[in-house]
Amino acid sequence: MENNLKRALARFALSLVAASAFAGCSHGSSQSTASPAASAGAGRKTIGVSIQNREAQFYQDMETGMRSEATKHGYALIVVDASRDNAKQQSQVEDFISKRVDAIVLTPYDSQAIGSAIAEANSANIPVFTADIASTSAQGRVVSHIASDNVQGGFQAGTLICQAFKSGSIAIIDEPEVTSVQDRVKGFKEALTQRCPSVTIVADVDSGGTRDKASSDTGDILQAHRDLKGIFGINDDSALGALAAVRAAGLAGKIAIVGYDATPEARDAIGKGEMYGDAIQYPAKIGSTTIDVISNYFAGKTPPPIVKIGVGTFTKASLAQPQSPP
């Protein structure tokens, strides 16, 4: 009987050890799935992306490029829309930090104000990358900025204006607080100086990159400068807004309008001869290149501080040609 009691006690002790081991395993498992960072340790990285205006076709295409490339690398993307609201974008960065993402991508709505959010991510040891629009703040460190070569793109737009006519007055429908637009206008003016110095800029107005404001401002310009021969819109919303005013004035096809992006609606207007042409960006390539740059960073490589994507041109002749990134 004593032997039976010893055997029973031994079995009971073994069951306690097994239960303890099981509890330990269960506790460890729950920790490993508690956060993106833990999942990343198992090989899956998470990237938080805050897009300043997800409704814009350009940013939809950029997101498509990001998602396609992220799938190739096995990364998870969390993509959110800042809706052109700096406070909202700042909050989104804080949310990414709380989720312990492995990297953050921003297209800043306010290039200056975004610095404090970038600094917060730096403090949390999360690398920050910018796409399309750069941060101009002295706060925070961005690992790499990936964007169109907007100086070159502006030069392309200016070259199109010079092809349309060699002398006369033009207007710029601008958005000067945006860094990429500053570069576009710089390149545009360089092209005029080099290729058609007899073309004169008689108006340069801030229309905020929006169609309604661009239309209203262009109407005012047409009243003040009845001999206007050309218009440069810094994006297609600006160019199409200008076109609406030109149409209302009965001048469609008589004023050379050049835009920037070559969205489907702008291409249609170019095909009809209502717009002369566009500088064309490749947002999907910007998106895919951004993910590739991040992948290299994860692999221990130091990416260049700026990665430039070439810009092309789109005219009526381009409608019959396939368009692909350079």
User: Per residue in 276-302, pLDDT tens?
Assistant: 999 999 999 999 999 999 999 999 999
> Residue 255's closest CA among 284, 216, 221, 279?
221
Q: 108: which 2 tokens?
A: 């800043």
Rounded Cα gap, residues 158 and 185, in angstroms: 9
R_g (Cα) of the chain, nearest Å = 27
Q: Say whether 297 sits in a helix, a strand or coil.
A: helix
Give me the phi and psi of 201, to 5 degrees please: -85, 115
Rounded Cα gap, residues 175 and 234, in angstroms: 7
DSSP for 104-129, please give it.
Answer: EEE--SSTTTTHHHHHHHHHTT--EE
CA distance from start to end of the chain: 88
Low-confidence ranges of the chain (pLDDT < 70): 1-43, 322-326
* Confidence at residue 57, expressed as pLDDT on a 0 to 100 scale: 85
* Confidence at residue 307, expressed as pLDDT on a 0 to 100 scale: 98
Rounded Cα gap, residues 13 and 201, in angstroms: 91
* Confidence at residue 320, expressed as pLDDT on a 0 to 100 scale: 83
Q: How far is CA 229 from the centre of its chain?
A: 32
* Confidence at residue 271, expressed as pLDDT on a 0 to 100 scale: 97
* Strand-strand pairing, 277-280 and 312-315: antiparallel
Is the Cα dihedral 166, 249, 189, 269 positive or negative? negative
Q: What is the DSSP letter of 321?
A: S
Q: What digits encode the pLDDT tens for the residues 37-50? A: 434 445 699 999 99
What the chain holds in terms of domains, given with CATH numbers, is 43-142 (3.40.50.2300), 150-282 (3.40.50.2300)
pTM for the predicted model, two decimal places: 0.77
* Confidence at residue 56, expressed as pLDDT on a 0 to 100 scale: 87
Bridge partners for 172 per DSSP:
204, 232
DSSP for 52-86, please give it.
Answer: S-TTSHHHHHHHHHHHHHHHHHT-EEEEEE-TT-H
* Confidence at residue 131, expressed as pLDDT on a 0 to 100 scale: 98
The H or E element spanning position 201 is strand 198-206
Q: What is the DSSP letter of 261?
A: S
* Confidence at residue 324, expressed as pLDDT on a 0 to 100 scale: 63
Contact 266, 259 (CB under 8 A): yes
